[in-house]
Amino acid sequence: MPEAAKTLIFLTDSFPFGTAETFIENEFPFLVDTFDRIFIITHNQKDAKTRTIPDNIEIIRIPYRPAFKYKVLSVLSYFLPTIQQELSHIKKEFLLQPNKEILSVLLASYAKALEINDLLNKMVANYQIDIRSLYLYSYWMNDITSGTALFKGKNPEVTAICRVHRWDVYFETQTPPYLPLRNFMLEALDKVFCISQDAYGYLHKLTNGRYDHHLAISRLGTFNRNEIIARSNEGMLRIVSCSNLIPLKRVHLIIEALAFITDIQIDWRHFGKGPLESELKKLASVKLSALPNIKYAFEGQVSNTEMLGFYKNNKVDLFINVSETEGIPVSIIEAGSFGVPVIGTLVGGVGEILSEGENGFLLKPSCLPREVADTIIKFYRLNESEKRKIRENAVSIWQKNYSAEKNYRNFLSAVLNLNPSGKA
């Protein structure tokens, strides 16, 4: 009897549109090679398609906010076991008060679950999908994922998974400090793949270990077929940072740190844009423009391909990330793959990528500009042999833990093995 076509419904935030979710670009070719049919559900409705994907992949663009009908249905579902169990978790385990704000977040999430569940039912019928060979993959543990969990609960033959990263893990990143339906999703989904040990530990603690059998660690990965090891530039310390210009990335700390350094020739380039761009450019002008030893440039938003090309064609001595919160920063992984030592804050999964003095340097989460400056100086004063060793370690750690070829093949092997019909 011929094997049924493996069908993937991939739920994203914006991919393949816009400039966000660049890290999916490394994984997507492996999805294309693994599944016979792929549908992408995205709630990006305004941006142009910026990634090249095969023509036979169906894309469904939906609004993130649920339709009014589902908001009403969610309110009417208040006394259902799913909602009542969540309210119990909120009070007894999360130690939160189910006030108006938290109830609003919970009911909005459940409204989206109802809407996504209906959409999936329609897709199965309209596209004649065999649910025994259907895989639901949500790239984030968000409100859309609660819909895949609801669908999975009613269709146990389906294989349903998601990834978790940063904002979709840690309650303290939210206002109010709450993420809805974690227990419901962890119980229903076949597997939740955490991109870091830190995220795994957080969900384990949050749910008192009840769903550890549904948790796994699957790290992200990047490509670097060039096997380049960056070489230092005599007389010039070339520093790169790459992030959105938003408050939690704290790019102002880099500017203020560089202002303390007066005896090292530095060329700093920042890649990325965001709402703080004008403010940070003004700060850099005030703090750095008069310093003859500091050159700097805000390079704006570039594609992932352009960023990798920069590393390939330019000598970079040091990468800096001083975020106040992180999952596993792909920007750090990419820098390491080119043998670039990294200064990073010990938040989220950063400590899983960096080892002090081995492939980079770790700062405390509450670091001050002077401490950032001291760490830059510390690296600069290492002898060339010590710097070379750090660069070599950066590449070897990347090869071991963050190679796209290895990580995504292992991930998909694990996913296929979840299918009860054994199509791995």
Sign of the Cα torsion 178, 150, 9, 123 reads negative
**pLDDT level of residue 36 (50, 70, 90 thresholds):** very high
Query: Residue 353: how many CB atoms within 10 A of its CB?
Result: 27
Tens digits of residue pLDDT in 317-361: 999 999 998 888 899 999 999 999 999 999 989 999 999 999 999
The pLDDT of 121-133, averaged and rounded, is: 96
Q: Which residue has the tokens 């990294």?
A: 342
Fold entry, domain 237-401: Rossmann fold (3.40.50)
The pLDDT of 219-226, averaged and rounded, is: 85
Q: What percent of the chain has pLDDT over 90?
A: 88
Q: Which pLDDT does position 401 carry in this prediction?
A: 94
Q: Which pLDDT does position 424 carry in this prediction?
A: 41
The structural domains of the chain, with segments of one domain joined by +, span 7-221+404-416, 237-401
| Beta-bridge partner residues of 193 | 163, 216
Which two tokens mark 342?
């990294």
Tens digits of residue pLDDT in 246-272: 999 999 999 999 999 999 999 999 999
CB 244, CB 275: distance < 8 Å: no
CA-to-CA dists, residue 119 to 105, 122, 127, 144, angstroms: 21, 5, 12, 11
The pLDDT of 376-390, averaged and rounded, is: 95
Return the DSSP state at 6.
Answer: P
pTM, rounded to two decimals: 0.90
* Statement: residue 283 has pLDDT above 90: yes
- The CA distance from 73 to 82, in Å, is 14
Please state, rounded to an integer, the average pLDDT across all residues of the chain: 94
Between 83-87, 117-121, 168-172, 224-228, the lowest mean confidence (pLDDT) is in 224-228
Tell me whether domains 7-221+404-416 and 237-401 share a fold: yes
**pLDDT level of residue 102 (50, 70, 90 thresholds):** very high
Instruction: Pick 7-221+404-416's CATH classification: 3.90.340.10, 3.90.45.10, 3.40.50.2000, 3.30.565.10.
Output: 3.40.50.2000
Listed residue (355, 304, 359) closest to 330, CA to CA: 304
